Amino acid sequence: MNTTANAPARPDIPTRALVIFLSLCFLTMLFVALAGNFENSRRDARQSPERTAATSAGMENNIGMLMRRLSGEPDNPDLLMELAEALVAAQSWDAAETFAKRGIELDARDQRPLHLLGVILHNKGQHGEAAEALEKAIALKSTAPLHYSLGVLYTYFLGDPPRGLEHFTIALNASDADEELKQAIRRELDKPPSPAPEAKTPPATRGAAPLPREAAQKIAELEKAALLNPGDAVAWTRLGNLYFDSGMTKEAISAYERALRLTPDNPDVITDLGIMYRDSGEFAKAVECFRKASALNPAHENALFNQGVVFYYDLGRKEEAERAWRRLLEINPGARAPDGQPVSEMIKHLH
């Protein structure tokens, strides 16, 4: 492994059809009536102005009625949800968000407002916050549609394919996954790798060349292998290593974390995860990883070296850097940095 890596990849912008499909999936998971309204919104361009105006007036009347009812029962969670859903149907995202959050405040154990908040935040373009809300909903109750939605979010909107694959796998094997949902998941899994990676937006790198075709194909193969064997720590580690070498920091972190959930005491993987954390600017997490790897294997040279690097170059803590590097020299007096510089010389430059 190298001691540094490039910034995370940015996946292609999904098509409008995919955005509509994701939104539809979110909404249908909530309530049938809301899904019906979403379908109607897709047909607005074909409706007459009179019908569109009538529909809008009907929504406004319904929202007004719900507001009046809620004023008399401000702590009624069902009314709160009904009003928030009506506001979503009207695409009044900010108002809907306010009432969804009020529902969460009323009952932190109620999955519905968290679920709806994920829908709202996604439609506002806040995809990271949407995923966070849906993850919290899943913590309360794991459902196949929720995992599928997170799979789509992570894969197409958050640039985290390994995490997306994990959620797709859970959804596919969930007891509440109906055949329609399973077919949608299989379509995702059956998508072939792009035959022309050069035409895609390449991973954002610090001056590096675009990802070669062979590397892109290998990544696709390893992603599929990890999906088919989600309990195989080696598959996730190999995928993380390839992301590491390809400069895909965020994806490498996700893959390494997945591997460590299966085999938590692997100092090599923990060290590589620490390097990726350092590359993403999360220096405290990087140090934590290097210390954990050293605790598991006191003779792990790479962990000690990188611990000193973060302390000196990133945190400005020279004394702790020197301690780490002197421990390294006790293990290997001839230790060198990747550029060939002796670690003993690096210590001299600290003073």
Confidence of residue 320 (pLDDT cuts 50, 70, 90): very high
291 within some domain: yes
Question: Between 157 and 4, where is the model more confident?
Answer: 157
104 within some domain: no
| 305 close to 2: Cβ distance less than 8 angstroms | no
**Average pLDDT of the segment spanning 181-193:** 74
What would the pLDDT profile of 232-282 be if each residue is shown by its tens digit? 889 899 999 988 988 889 999 999 999 999 999 999 999 999 999 999 999
Predicted local distance difference test score (pLDDT) of residue 65: 85
Predicted local distance difference test score (pLDDT) of residue 23: 39
33 within some domain: no
- Which CATH number do you get for residue 334? 1.25.40.10
What proportion of the chain, given as a percentage, has pLDDT over 90?
31
Question: Between 227 and 133, where is the model more confident?
Answer: 133
pLDDT of 18 > 70? The answer is no
What would the pLDDT profile of 291-319 be if each residue is shown by its tens digit? 999 999 999 999 999 999 999 999 999 99
Alpha helices in the chain (DSSP H): 16-30, 32-42, 49-72, 77-89, 93-106, 111-123, 127-140, 144-152, 161-173, 179-189, 213-228, 233-245, 249-262, 267-279, 283-296, 301-309, 318-331, 343-348
Q: What is the average pLDDT value for the chain, to the nearest integer?
A: 77
> How far is CA 56 from each of CA 20, 39, 224, 226, 254, rounded to the nearest angstrom?
21, 15, 46, 47, 44
Confidence of residue 81 (pLDDT cuts 50, 70, 90): confident
What would the pLDDT profile of 204-224 be if each residue is shown by its tens digit? 333 334 566 777 778 888 887
339 within some domain: yes
How many folded domains does the chain comprise? 1
244 within some domain: no
What proportion of the chain, given as a percentage, has pLDDT over 70?
77
Q: Report which listed range, 83-97, 186-200, 246-260, is most confident.
A: 246-260
pLDDT of 197 > 50? The answer is no
Q: Report which listed range, 2-11, 28-37, 226-235, 315-324, is most confident.
A: 315-324
47 within some domain: no
| 162 close to 255: Cβ distance less than 8 angstroms | yes
pTM (predicted TM-score): 0.47
Confidence of residue 190 (pLDDT cuts 50, 70, 90): confident
Nearest C-alpha neighbor of 163 from the set 174, 154, 172: 154
Q: Which domain holds residue 310?
A: 265-351
281 within some domain: yes
Residue 130: how many CB atoms within 10 A of its CB? Answer: 24
